[in-house]
Amino acid sequence: FRSAVRTLNNPTPGPPKPDMQVGGTAQQAPDGPPPGWSAELSYNAAYRDFQGKKDDVAIEELAQFLKYAPKSENAPNAQYYIGQIYYRGEDWENAAKAFDAVLEQFPANSKTSEAQYMKACALMKGNHKTAAGAEFKAFIAKYPDSPRAHDAHLHLQELGMEAKRRKE
């Protein structure tokens, strides 16, 4: 499983950048989607396999979806689920990269806050304490009313980067 994941994930997780530019618009890559390929069906199958914890299949389907539908409304979700697959596989480095790809490539979407929180968690689990602390602090600053803000404060305490808060 891990070798398949690594193969799919070089150099970084996320949708590929359009590499064929003509007059400022992306052109169809020579290896376009297979005949009969549907973004909606592809995403639904990938999500079903993600939910079913068929991670090796789901990550391939999600990567294919991002390759052929990088501008789809479901692209941020697909990238986020890739991060979740790495996270539950305890591949902290690739999880952090995948969550970061959500933040970089899809900065304003329904998964943004959760991706930032999960990136911080992956960094913490991967023993990148300083980076994790910075990410938790950025999360709290940007999303102070998030249900996850309390957890972020607890993680900062765990990292020794915040004093314990008194109950009010």
Two tokens at 132? 């994790």
Q: What pLDDT sits at residue 32?
A: 85
Complete DSSP assignment for 72-96: STTHHHHHHHHHHHHHHTT-HHHHH
- Position 9 confidence tier, pLDDT thresholds 50, 70, 90: very low
Q: What does the pLDDT read at residue 164?
A: 66
Q: Is the pLDDT of residue 16 over 50?
A: no
C-alpha 115/C-alpha 138 separation (Å) is 12
When pLDDT is cut at 50, 70 and 90, the band that residue 31 belongs to is confident
Given a cut of 80, whether residue 7 has pLDDT beyond it is: no
Instruction: Give SS3 for 25.
Output: strand
Exposed e or buried b for every residue in 89-126, given b needs 16+ CB within 10 A? bebbebbbbbbbbbbebbeebebbbbbbbbbbbbbbeb
- Does 75 score more than 70 pLDDT? yes
Torsion of CA 9, 75, 115, 82, to 10 degrees: -30
Greater pLDDT, 31 or 163: 31
Distance from C-alpha of 132 to C-alpha of 136, rounded to nearest angstrom: 6
Predicted pLDDT of residue 14:
43
pLDDT tens-digit series, residues 33-55: 999 999 999 999 999 999 999 99
Half-sphere exposure of 99 (CA within 13 A, CB side): 25
β-pair type (21-22, 25-26): antiparallel
- What pLDDT, in 10s, does the model give residues 83-95? 999 999 999 999 9
Instruction: Give per-residue pLDDT as tens, 98-157.
Output: 999 999 999 999 999 999 999 999 999 999 999 999 999 999 999 999 999 999 999 999
Q: Which of 150, 84, 77, 139 is nearest to 111 (CA)?
A: 77
Question: Alpha helix locations (H) across 16-128?
Answer: 39-51, 55-68, 75-88, 92-105, 112-125
Q: pTM for the full model?
A: 0.79
